[in-house]
Every structure is written in C-alpha cells, then in structure tokens.
Amino acid sequence: MKYRIEKDTMGEVEVPEDKLWGAQTERSRNNFKIGAPASIPLEIVYGFAYLKKAAAYTNCELGALPIEKRDLIAQVCDEILEGKHDDQFPLVIWQTGSGTQSNMNVNEVIANRAHQLAGKTIGEGEKTLQPNDDVNKSQSSNDTFPTGMHIAAYKKILEVTIPGITQLRDTLKKKSDEFKDVVKIGRTHFMDATPLTIGQELSGYVSQLDHGLKALENTLPHLAELALGGTAVGTGLNTPKGYAKRVSEFIAQFTGLPFITAENKFEALAAHDAFVETHGALKQLAVSLNKIGNDIRMLASGPRSGIGELIIPANEPGSSIMPGKVNPTQCEALTMVCAQVMGNDVAINVGGMQGHFELNVFKPVMAANLLQSAQLIGDACVSFDEHCAQGIEPNHKRITELLNNSLMLVTALNTKIGYYKAAEIANTAHKNGTTLKHEAIALGHVTEEEFEEWVKPEDMVGSLK
Ligand SMILES: O=C(O)C[C@H](O)C(=O)O
C-alpha cells in the first residue's frame, strides 16, 4: 500500500495515499483497534455534515469565514450527505468518549476533499482549508458530537421508528375491528378466565403502541435542542456573537426539522438526559412489543398440542429435522430485538450517569446504541407487520372448543346463585371431567333453562371495545 505523510500537532503520520482522512484519524485507527472495522454509525457522520455546513454558513454570515471557504465546506458536506465518501469514516465507537477523533475525521476529510475541489492533489502546497481553524471554526468536539448525535437520532426516529410502529399499530387496529365479535376465552395468570373478544384483546396492543408512540414523540422537543455554540465547556468561547442561535437555524433549514439552540449548553454538553429520555420511550415500546410478540406466538402455538386460537402465516420451513414444522419466527425476531433494546437501555443509562463536571464522555456508545434501537424497532415492526400481523386469522373451531369447555363461564352465575354455589359447580365439573351445565343441574342450583339463559359467553364480554 502507498502512503503519504500527514501532520498534526504531535508530528508526522503515514496515511494510506488514497484516503481523504488525515493524521488524527489515522492515529485513532492505530490506537483503537477495538471491534474494528468502522462502527461509528454513518448517520452521525451525516449529522456532522449538516452541522459543519451550518457552521460554515454562520461563520461566513458573521464575518468569521470567507465565502470561498464556506462554499468549499458546504460542497464537501453535500457530497458526504449524498453518500459519496462513506468509506472515509473508518473509526470505531470505542475511541475518545467525546468523539473528538470522529469530529477530526470529518474535519480532515472536508479539508482534504476541498483541496481536491480546489484543483490540487492532497499534500500539494499549502492546505486550502485548515481542519481545525476553518472546518472546526467556532466549534469543539464537545458541542459538535452531541449535535451530530441529536440530528442523527431525531431523523432516525422520524424516518424509521415512528413509521414502522405506526404501520404495525394500524394493522392491529384493523384486525381488532375485523374480529370484534369473535368471542374467546380469556386467560389470567396463564389460567382460564372469563371470555372476551379477539377485538378487545388486540385493542389492548393497539393502545400500548399508541401510548408508546406518544411517549416517543414527547421526547422529540428535548432531542431538537442542539449543543452547538457551547464549544468546549458550554460558555461558547471562540464563537462570534449570535452564533449559537443562527447555526441552529441553519441546521433546521438544511434538515427541514425543527432544531433549536439548547437553552442551556452546560446541560447539553455534560448530560445526555435527552438520550436517556428518548431511549426510555424506546424501551417502553420494546416492553409493549415483547408482550405482543409473546402473546401472539402463544395464541398461535400448536398446531395440535398448543393453544392454537390464532393462525399466523407459515412463511418458511421451521425445522431442519422435523418435517412440516412451521415456527412463529417473526415473533422470535421481534422479541429478540426487544432483548437487544433492553441491553442498549442499560448501556445508555450507565453512559448517561457519567457526566463528569463539564462533559459527558460516553457520547459514542450512547449514540450508537440509541440509533441501533431506533432502527431495530422500526425495522422489526415492519417485518412483523408484513410477515405476521397482516395475516393473523382466528381459528374459529379451536376458539369455540376452548370457550365451551371453560369452567370460568361459571362466573356468569355469581350474580344469580352466589359465588359459593357457582364454585361448587366448577369444582365438581373439574373433578368429574363433566360440563358446567351437567353439574349445575345435577347439584340442583339451576334449571336447564336458567343455565341456557344465564351462561352465554357472548353476553359476558361487556361493552368495552
Ligand atoms: O475535542 C475537543 O474539542 C475537546 C475535547 O473533547 C476535550 O474536552 O478535551
């Protein structure tokens, strides 16, 4: 491999000749071979591209950067956002906790690419742009990395997570309406209980997702607050007057999203409570989705020896050894995603607890985990929706069989003959393996006509939708 020499304040570093990055990126590559290759999410790099462009525009407007430099920075940022330089960001999550090396990676790529755009080869003559003085002007990693994190997370939640959850929620609502009259036996403590409809059961899942979506959306205003303008410790040292507000306005303009400057930059640098808050909502959704996935796989269990009340799509052969076996694989994928989100939540909570004095230095791990959760939940909801939820059908034969066989239909007699006599009927039927009706009449507690009139599952589901 051919190398060129790049320099930073510590001296010379060999960098692969065909790469746009510089000395500090290369040092990071050499010093942090932890889980390589590249694991800093590209979404964060794109977040940086938005903010570097916004910073260049703001610096220029406020008289701190010539227009030619602004335009070069903006042009490279646009190229980055078009995905033209995805392979120029080789760093890992497990680097400096401020993300300084990723900030410098972006600064170096912009500077070297700008040199090329100015018609020169990298290393030829004086640099067209200085990574620290021009591209990083009015910035520190301490305010840029959290800004990139917030832009990336906001976009991911808006573009992937919320649409995915909404798609699944809408299907479950449709199924809930479709099966609103299908009466089945309920279960509490895993044991037979009084009846309800499939529509009612599914409506609980819809409500869970509605609440989860609301919780997630409620976190967006905090996520919309940007740290940029705080620089090293939150005071805004080395920024021109009016910079913080204006740079956020440019970011809002370039992203089309309602970003604003954080009211308090000390919080925005030293704490990532916004991430803890947003991931809290993602965790809530994972809790809900785990229940939904578990319920559906248990209700669809069988086909001969399980509950078998629901039929779900048979998408692929389930077993390499057992012929004809089909498994609830979408439920398995969904609940595995939920397990991953729970793990990510722990990492984010631990990271969030570590804001020491003026800086939280768990930024890359918090950012990567949140982005992973947001992507996984969105994707898993779409997959579960398209390959499972949309195809859910009731197994009417099995539902009727289990409903009529249930001893808990006896609960309808409580108000007619009292709890004790009703319990005697249920216990005797269970002991003798007979029906409720048979024992109710044999014990002399009701007549056949009374039983027929009083014990009707369809009258036991209440009026709640
Ligand atoms: O990289 C920076 O801009 C600052 C760094 O994170 C530091 O506080 O030491």
* Ligand 1 atom nearest to CA at 361: 6
C-beta separation of 344 from 372 below 8 A = yes
Q: Is 231 in the pocket of ligand 1 (CB under 6 A)?
A: no
C-beta separation of 32 from 92 below 8 A = yes
Q: Among 46, 149, 207, which residue's Cα sits nearest to residue 374? A: 149
How many A from CA of 248 to the centre of ligand 1?
21
Report the greatest alpha carbon distance in the chain: 105
Q: Over the stretch 112-145, which tens digit does the pLDDT of each residue have? A: 999 999 999 999 999 999 999 999 999 999 999 9
Task: Say yes or no to pLDDT of 465 above 90.
Answer: no
Q: Is 406 in the pocket of ligand 1 (CB under 6 A)?
A: no
Q: How far apart are CA 115 and CA 123, in angstroms?
A: 9
| Two structure tokens written together for 421 | 């006599």
Question: What pLDDT is stored for residue 464 in this prediction?
Answer: 64
Helix or strand or coil: residue 38? coil
User: Token match 């790469």: residue?
Assistant: 19
DSSP assignment of 6-34: EEETTEEEEEETT----HHHHHHHHH--S
pLDDT band at 178 (very low <50, low <70, confident <90, very high): very high
User: Token match 């520190």: residue?
Assistant: 140
Q: Is 142 in the pocket of ligand 1 (CB under 6 A)?
A: yes
Per DSSP (E only), the strands in 81-227 are 183-188, 191-197, 225-226
Q: Is 25 in the pocket of ligand 1 (CB under 6 A)?
A: no
Question: What pLDDT is stored for residue 38 in this prediction?
Answer: 84
Active site residue 189: yes
C-beta separation of 381 from 289 below 8 A = yes
Q: Over the stretch 200-212, which tens digit does the pLDDT of each residue have? A: 999 999 999 999 9
Helix or strand or coil: residue 288? helix
Q: What is the arithmetic mean of pLDDT over 26-39? A: 94
- 28, 102, 115, 189: which one is catalytic? 189
Task: Say yes or no to pLDDT of 327 above 60.
Answer: yes
Q: Over the stretch 62-87, which tens digit does the pLDDT of each residue have? A: 999 999 999 999 999 999 999 999 99
What is the value of ipTM here, to two decimals?
0.98
How many A from CA of 233 to the centre of ligand 1?
9
| Two structure tokens written together for 362 | 């768990």
Taking each helix axis as running N to C, give the angle between helix 100-117 and helix 42-61, from 0 to 180 degrees, rounded to the nearest 10: 70
How many A from CA of 46 to the centre of ligand 1?
20
| Two structure tokens written together for 363 | 């930024």
**Nearest CA, atom 2, ligand 1:** 141
- The pLDDT mean for the chain works out to 97
How many A from CA of 407 to the centre of ligand 1?
68
| Two structure tokens written together for 450 | 């009374």
Per DSSP (E only), the strands in 269-338 are 310-311
Who contacts 464 (Cβ-Cβ below 8 Å, separation ≥6)? 200
Q: Which amino acid is at 9?
A: T
* Ligand 1 atom nearest to CA at 233: 8
Classify 392 in phi/psi space as left (phi over 0), alpha (psi -120 to 50) or beta: beta
The CA distances from residue 234 to 244, 245, 264, 353, in Å, are: 11, 14, 8, 19
Q: Over the stretch 92-119, which tens digit does the pLDDT of each residue have? A: 999 999 999 999 999 999 999 999 999 9
Classify 4 in phi/psi space as left (phi over 0), alpha (psi -120 to 50) or beta: beta
Percent of the chain at pLDDT above 90? 98
Peptide bond preceding 37: is omega within 30 degrees of 0, i.e. cis?
yes
Question: What pLDDT is stored for residue 463 in this prediction?
Answer: 73
Among 100, 102, 108, which residue has the most ligand 1 atoms within 8 Å of its CB, making it the best to mutate? Answer: 100
Sign (positive or negative) of CA dihedral 135, 101, 243, 86:
positive
Q: Over the stretch 362-403, which tens digit does the pLDDT of each residue have? A: 999 999 999 999 999 999 999 999 999 999 999 999 999 999
Q: Is 167 in the pocket of ligand 1 (CB under 6 A)?
A: no
Question: What pLDDT is stored for residue 36 in this prediction?
Answer: 83
Q: Does the pTM exceed 0.90? A: yes
C-beta separation of 86 from 37 below 8 A = no
- 28, 150, 279, 319: which one is catalytic? 319
| Two structure tokens written together for 27 | 């040092």
How many A from CA of 97 to the centre of ligand 1?
9
Neighbours of 464 (CB within 10 A): 8
Who contacts 452 (Cβ-Cβ below 8 Å, separation ≥6)? none
* Ligand 1 atom nearest to CA at 100: 1
Q: Over the stretch 264-285, which tens digit does the pLDDT of each residue have? A: 999 999 999 999 999 999 999 9
Q: What is the arithmetic mean of pLDDT over 421-450? A: 97
Question: What pLDDT is stored for residue 208 in this prediction?
Answer: 98
pLDDT band at 298 (very low <50, low <70, confident <90, very high): very high
How many A from CA of 317 to the centre of ligand 1?
53
Q: What is the arithmetic mean of pLDDT over 223-240? A: 98
- Kindly report which listed range (218-227, 246-255, 437-446, 455-464) carries the lowest average pLDDT score: 455-464
User: Token match 């076996």: residue?
Assistant: 325
Question: What pLDDT is stored for residue 363 in this prediction?
Answer: 98
Among 135, 142, 361, which residue has the most ligand 1 atoms within 8 Å of its CB, making it the best to mutate? Answer: 142
Question: What pLDDT is stored for residue 216 in this prediction?
Answer: 98
